Amino acid sequence: MNIRIGMGFDVHKLVEDRDLWLGGIKIEHTLGLLGHSDADVLIHAICDAMLGAANMRDIGFHFPDTAAETDGIDSKILLRKTRDLIAQKGYRLGNIDATVCAERPKINPHVPAMKKCLAEVLECDEEDISIKATTTEKLGFTGREEGISAYAVVLIEKD
């Protein structure tokens, strides 16, 4: 069995008049994330980790923010396409361990719904997805509530 590990990171700015999408679900909040797509930082970090593990560059290479077809796209579509890309090289997801960094809104109440959504998109067990939440203790851009970031590590496998 061939096992590979990948790491991903993403960050987006919080702004008014945008919906907040994290882990494929819409979260009620006064601000949303700014981006070419729906700006789901968690999904973007997971995509980068999967692509990196398969040595397939990054999300911006496959889904550029200059492409009309990705303007406003639901990041769940990008995640599904990323799953398909690594499958073309014979890989399947082993597990995901991810962390979302935000002062507000509180992420922990939404983790079960995020895991359920991501497991459906990736066609895997919810047990294969770990999502954690943290703050930056009011330090930096996250602490000032200017943005949200996410980190993800994935294991992929090939028989």
Domain ranges of the chain: 2-158
The pTM score is 0.97
What pLDDT score does 7 carry?
A: 98
What pLDDT score does 155 carry?
A: 98
Angstrom distance (rounded) from CA 104 to CA 66 = 30
- Encoded amino acid at 109, one letter: P
| Cα separation values, 157 from 50, 97, 105, Å | 11, 15, 34
Angstrom distance (rounded) from CA 81 to CA 86 = 9
Pairing, β 20-22 against β 25-27: antiparallel
Q: How many CA atoms lie within 13 A of 90 on its CB side?
A: 6
What pLDDT score does 92 carry?
A: 97
What pLDDT score does 159 carry?
A: 79
The class (CATH top level) of 2-158 is alpha beta
What pLDDT score does 84 carry?
A: 98
Q: Report residue 4: phi and psi, to 5°.
A: -135, 150
One pLDDT digit (tens) per residue for the chain, 159 residues: 899 999 999 999 999 999 999 999 999 999 999 999 999 999 999 999 999 999 999 999 999 999 999 999 999 999 999 999 999 999 999 999 999 999 999 999 999 999 999 999 999 999 999 999 999 999 999 999 999 999 999 999 997
What pLDDT score does 87 carry?
A: 98
What pLDDT score does 117 carry?
A: 98
DSSP the chain: -EEEEEEEEEEEEEESSS-EEETTEEE--S-EE-SSS---HHHHHHHHHHHHHTT---HHHHS-TT-GGGTT--HHHHHHHHHHHHHHTT-EEEEEEEEEE-SSS--GGGHHHHHHHHHHHHTS-GGGEEEEEE--TT-HHHHTTSEEEEEEEEEEEE-
